[in-house]
Amino acid sequence: MNANGQVGIQSPSFPDGAQPMVRLDKQGGTVVSELHGRFYEQAYRGNLFSCGHAGAVALASQNATATSLAAAAQPILGIWNPQTAQVNLVVLQAVLQDFINNVTSVAPGAFVWCWSIGNAGITTGGTPYNRKSMAAAGSLTKTFLGATALTGLTNNLVIVEAADFPIASGLLTTTVAAATPTPSVEGIQNFDGSLVIPPGGVLALMNTLSVTTHSVMGRLLWEEVPII
Encode pLDDT of 173-214 as tens digits. Answer: 555 555 565 668 999 999 999 999 999 999 999 999 999 999
pLDDT score recorded for residue 174: 52
pLDDT at 77 over 90: yes
Taking phi over 0 as left and psi of -120 to 50 as alpha, with beta for the rest, 118 belongs to left
Strand-pairing partners, residue 196, are 90
> Please, what is the average pLDDT of the chain?
90
What average pLDDT does this structure show over 153-174?
86
**Nearest partner of 217 among 44, 78, 47, 95, judged by Cα:** 95
pLDDT at residue 85, as a whole number: 95
Per-residue pLDDT band at 142 (split at 50, 70, 90): very high
Q: Is the pLDDT of residue 172 over 60?
A: no
